[in-house]
Amino acid sequence: MNFKDKKVLVCGIALSGISAAILLNKMGAFVTLQDIKTEDKIDYNDLQLIKDNNINLYLGKNPDDILYDIDYIIVSPGIPLTLPYIQKAKKLNIPIIGELELGYIFCKSQVIGITGTNGKTTTTTLVSEIIKNFKGKVYTVGNIGIPFTSQVLSINEDDICVAEVSSFQLETIKTFRPNIACVLNITPDHLDRHKTYENYILSKENIFSNQKEDDYLILNYDDKICFDMARKSKSKVIFFSTKEELDRGIFYKENNIFVKLDQEYVISTEKIKVLGLHNIENIIAAIAISECLKIPKNIIIETINNFKGVEHRIEYVTKINNIKFYNDSKGTNVEAAIKSIEAMERPILLIAGGYDKKVSFTEFAKVINKKVKQLVLIGESSDKIIEECNKLGYRNIIKVNTLEEAVKTCYIKAENGDCILLSPACASWDMFKSYEERGNLFKEIVLNLRGVDL
């Protein structure tokens, strides 16, 4: 696409929208940045950055009135494609793409795309660390919090770009074609946005829809939905498993990871620092990607053994009076929270609840009933979780109004040898701007408990 002298509407003033607008401005486009928020609701630094780049603003309402004078629309991931003005733009045949697609259009290097319901950030971070230790240069972008468009003009042909990709971002691709794509797992999520589980799955499948025969697709052998994707792919498929021995692929068995691809070797998991079988899954997916890049096994093994995980994902915070605190604020869906609970080796006092994404909490309640000695709930989904737990006869539940109340309630009730785990199974948007804000506040509250007489 040639954006020079084109009139481009960028919808959404957040990291990706601002970054896309600045890139388009550099490409010679006439850019209008739109948001339903009014100017007084926009962060001062963001506003100054927009004005410094001579970008037009259209604030406080949807852009229906200006669509007739627009050549392209770039939508931020958080904007549903079902909005009336988006539907109107489609009828006017205005091309609509997302920030990920915009970044890809200008990218000169090979791209690795990683998606799935859970484990994306951990796997993306580990893959980037392995490549960095091999090549010294890697760009990590996408849903991990770094817009593709903010980095793309710095990416050279011989670099590697690793993109964490969400279902929202995959809804708006046209040409996005990762040389190596990875789907880690699929469980119901974001049904408030996608409406049906089938729509959610289809959005994830877009990650390999443009791949060709010489590309690679890494799939979870143990996940039936991922396994079935192999039949729909044109690319070379590599499977990974934590449950089955594979004749060709990568699998986990008895504290060892077996690599059976072009080179064959075994990695002991004894030195691995991250907790849980789900992290073994993330690690073997990262190994598969590294193998496609022909990275030497010694670099892969050394990086894995030194990897300490990512912030807000079963992140160890501290120990007070032999009570351990873990921040899993990134556990924003049921499956992620279940895996975190299962990874704990101590009796658990769990803090959960948050924004309701219209998913079932039935399986979550089953795990709580088996493994959680005390449940403390916050947020708008609290009553739904209570209802599911009550069906099983689980009654060790306290509902509070704030995260601080939740932490202090857990600490008062905790005993020597317990752990307090924040793993919400819900998004943060009912009470916080992001899971990062929620996790950071949790850590701040926990660290302030030292020396406090409750």
User: For the chain, which residues make up each domain, given as ranges?
Assistant: 7-94, 101-306, 315-447
Copy the structure tokens of residue 151: 């980095």
Instruction: In the chain, count H helices and then E strands.
Output: 17, 20
pLDDT at 189: 80
Q: Is 103 helix (H, G, I), strand (E, B) or coil?
A: helix
pLDDT at 151: 97
Q: Which residue has the tokens 């892969």?
A: 300
Give the CB-side neighbour count of residue 439, counting CA atoms within 13 A.
21
pLDDT at 453: 56
With CA atoms as reference, report the closest residue to 222 among 260, 191, 187.
187
pLDDT at 332: 93
pLDDT tens profile 248-283? 999 999 999 999 999 899 999 999 988 889 899 999
Q: What is the DSSP string of 236-253?
A: EEEEEESSS--SSEEEEE
pLDDT at 153: 97
Distance of CA 169 to the CA centre of its chain: 11
pLDDT at 325: 96
The sign of the CA dihedral 415, 421, 425, 428 is positive
Ranges of residues in the chain whose predicted pLDDT is under 50: none
pLDDT at 246: 97
- What is the side-by-side order of every strand in the sheet holding 397-399? 315-320, 323-327, 419-422, 348-352, 372-377, 397-399
pTM of the model: 0.84
- Does domain 7-94 bear CATH number 3.40.50.300? no
pLDDT at 136: 87
Q: Is 424 helix (H, G, I), strand (E, B) or coil?
A: coil
- What is the side-by-side order of every strand in the sheet holding 264-268? 139-142, 160-164, 110-115, 180-183, 216-220, 236-241, 249-253, 256-260, 264-268
**Mean pLDDT for the chain overall:** 95
Strands 323-327 and 419-422: parallel
pLDDT tens profile 283-309? 999 999 999 999 999 999 999 999 988
pLDDT tens profile 306-326? 998 888 989 999 999 999 999
pLDDT at 191: 78
Distances (CA, A) of 165 to 2, 14, 171, 335: 24, 17, 10, 18
pLDDT at 452: 60
pLDDT at 192: 80
Pick among 3.40.50.1820, 2.40.50.1070, 3.40.1190.10, 3.30.1490.20: CATH of 101-306: 3.40.1190.10
Asked if 178 and 127 count as a contact pair (C-beta separation under 8 A), the reply is: no
Helix axes 362-371, 382-391, angle to 10 degrees: 60
pLDDT at 454: 57
d(CA 31, CA 219): 39
Copy the structure tokens of residue 263: 């080179």
pLDDT tens profile 213-254? 999 999 999 999 999 999 999 999 999 999 999 999 999 999
Pick among 3.90.190.20, 3.30.70.3400, 3.90.180.10, 1.20.1050.10: CATH of 315-447: 3.90.190.20
d(CA 125, CA 310): 7
